[in-house]
């Protein structure tokens, strides 16, 4: 599908355009999804309080207001079965065991997250170290909780602004091959917006494609394409926790809610992993200090035109780009440097994310303003750093 909006349009304009294309009714966007989850959970809560009739009424309201909610019907069915006092198990249970298990998993994951949401306000996923100033929101997909968190970049730290129930691939996470029904693990960026009316029904309200496969995926020989965040087909309110071909899917209500946090000019990060360590924000700040010094050293050493100082930041055996290994990279850099009297590097819009799915890896992404006596440019750069066995951070990819 073609990108629906030009990439260089100002971020705010893009967002307004995307939002305008999505919303017809003028109401708080994620309200319907929130109410949906509230009805499900309060039906269970009331059952726990032995208020059976109230519980039943909530389940009835759920299927009345969300008639495509399979989970709503399951909760209602379980309540009615309990009320009947008879063993009402679907005759064809085994045929549908997967679907039933999926729905029960969804219920249990929604319930668990609701119980721990409060506690998670104090902690952040350990992937979040620093966001760039133009990254207002960072999306974090946590497959273990079937949840997408929206973190607001507060400058100093991150605060949980919103969260949505989401579905990942049928075969789980860690995509490797095209058609393996897995969802990638890594740090990605939203590249565009595709409105639902131009897409088949299964994408629902629309889609936000992301840039899988990225540099690290290519390095790991990962194949496949077309990993999107998208809505849900008409006959379902949302899907069970593992039910996509590899995309992140959510209810159309959630999709509309999510879209207000997304810039489609490539700045909104989507971090995806099986799970995260949850850490206090000051621990992240401490780690960030160390990494900032590292980047500063790299920049200074590059500017020094002293090749040995510069090249020590690169991993001898792991460094590789699309065109180079370390020896060809060294030759190239040596020849460039020999023609320079000075190099002046400016780094801005720096984001630092601990890279999920890789051991001790960090992705630094920034805008690099390069000035020298014979050449100037400004590019977006990605540096992947990894700790070597001696515990020293080394660059394993630059591009």
Partner 1 sequence: MPRFPGFRFRHFLGLAFLVVTADSESVEAAGDHVSHIRQLIAEGENGSAMEAIQKHLPTSEHGPELRFLKGIAHEGMGNRKAAMQVYRALIRNHPENPAPYNNLAVLHAHDGNFKAAASVLERALGTDEDYQTIYSNLASIYEKLARDAYLKALDSSEEPASLMLTHIREMKLKATTPPAVPGEQYREMREQAAGELTLPDETLNVPHGFRQKNYRRPGASHQTTM
Of the candidates 338, 106, 334, 132, which has an alpha carbon nearest to the alpha carbon of residue 242?
A: 106
Of the candidates 172, 177, 152, which has an alpha carbon nearest to the alpha carbon of residue 162?
A: 152
Q: How far is CA 53 from the centre of its chain?
A: 40
User: Is 275 an interacting residue with respect to partner 1 (CB under 8 A)?
Assistant: no
Omega before 213 within 30 of 0, i.e. cis:
yes
Task: Report in angstroms how near the CB of residue 112 gets to partner 1 at its nearest.
Answer: 21
For residues 200-259, which are near partner 1 according to CB under 8 A? 235
User: Is 108 an interacting residue with respect to partner 1 (CB under 8 A)?
Assistant: no
User: Is 109 an interacting residue with respect to partner 1 (CB under 8 A)?
Assistant: no
User: Is 73 an interacting residue with respect to partner 1 (CB under 8 A)?
Assistant: yes
The binder of partner 1 chosen from 38, 60, 152, 301 (CB under 8 A): 60
389 Cβ neighbours under 8 A, 6+ residues apart: none
The binder of partner 1 chosen from 22, 32, 47, 100 (CB under 8 A): 100
**Beta carbon nearer to partner 1, 224 or 241:** 241
Task: Report in angstroms how near the CB of residue 97 gets to partner 1 at its nearest.
Answer: 10
Task: Report in angstroms how near the CB of residue 85 gets to partner 1 at its nearest.
Answer: 5
User: Is 370 an interacting residue with respect to partner 1 (CB under 8 A)?
Assistant: no
For residues 78-97, which are near partner 1 according to CB under 8 A? 78-81, 83-86, 88, 90, 92, 96
**Beta carbon nearer to partner 1, 85 or 200:** 85
The binder of partner 1 chosen from 11, 77, 109, 305 (CB under 8 A): 77
Residue 93 CA to residue 261 CA, distance in Å, equals: 41
Of the candidates 380, 362, 390, 345, which has an alpha carbon nearest to the alpha carbon of residue 291?
A: 362
Got the DSSP string for 42-83? HHHHHHHTT-HHHHHHHHHHHHHH-TT-HHHHHHHHHHHHHH
The binder of partner 1 chosen from 14, 29, 32, 76 (CB under 8 A): 76
Two structure tokens written together for 196 = 């639902």
Contacts 24+ apart (CB under 8 A), 16-21: 18/193, 18/259, 18/262, 18/264, 19/259, 19/260, 21/193, 21/195, 21/206
- Applying CB under 8 A, the residues found at the interface with partner 1 are 53, 60, 63-64, 70-71, 73-74, 76-81, 83-86, 88, 90, 92, 96, 99-100, 103, 235
């Amino acid at each position: 599908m073609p990108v629906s909006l030009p990439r260089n349009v100002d971020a705010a304009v893009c967002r307004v355009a995307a939002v305008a294309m999505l919303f017809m009714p003028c109401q708080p966007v994620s309200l319907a999804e929130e109410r949906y989850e509230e009805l499900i959970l309060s039906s269970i809560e009331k059952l726990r309080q032995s208020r059976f009739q109230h519980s039943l009424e909530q389940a009835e309201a759920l299927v009345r207001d969300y008639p495509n909610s399979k989970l709503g019907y399951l909760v209602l069915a379980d309540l009615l079965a309990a009320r009947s006092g008879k063993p009402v198990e679907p005759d064809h249970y085994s045929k549908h065991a997967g679907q039933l298990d999926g729905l029960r998993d969804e219920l249990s994951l929604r319930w668990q997250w609701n119980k721990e949401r409060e506690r998670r306000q104090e902690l952040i996923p350990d992937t979040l170290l620093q966001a760039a100033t133009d990254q207002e929101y960072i999306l974090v997909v946590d497959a273990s909780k079937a949840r997408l968190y929206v973190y607001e970049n507060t400058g100093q730290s991150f605060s949980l602004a919103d969260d949505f129930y989401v579905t990942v691939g049928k075969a789980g996470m860690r995509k490797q091959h095209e058609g393996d029904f897995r969802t990638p693990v890594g740090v990605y960026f939203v590249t565009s917006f595709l409105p639902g009316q131009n897409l088949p029904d299964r994408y629902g309200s629309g889609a936000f494609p992301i840039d899988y496969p990225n540099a690290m995926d290519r390095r790991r020989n990962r194949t496949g394409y077309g990993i999107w965040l998208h809505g849900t087909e008409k006959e379902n309110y949302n899907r069970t926790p593992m039910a996509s071909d590899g995309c992140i899917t959510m209810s159309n209500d959630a999709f509309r809610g999510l879209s207000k946090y997304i810039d489609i000019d490539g700045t909104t990060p989507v971090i995806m992993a099986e799970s995260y360590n949850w850490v206090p924000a000051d621990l992240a700040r401490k780690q960030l200090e160390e990494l900032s010094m590292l980047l500063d050293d790299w920049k200074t050493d590059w500017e020094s035109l002293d090749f040995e100082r510069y090249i020590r930041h690169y991993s001898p055996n792991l460094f590789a780009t699309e065109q180079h290994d370390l020896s060809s990279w060294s030759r190239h850099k040596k020849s460039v440097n020999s023609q320079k009297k000075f190099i002046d590097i400016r780094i801005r819009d720096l984001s630092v994310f601990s890279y999920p799915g890789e051991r001790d890896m960090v992705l630094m992404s920034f805008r690099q303003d390069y000035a020298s006596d014979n050449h100037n440019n400004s590019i977006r750069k990605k540096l992947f750093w990894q700790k070597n066995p001696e515990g020293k951070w080394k660059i394993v990819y630059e591009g």
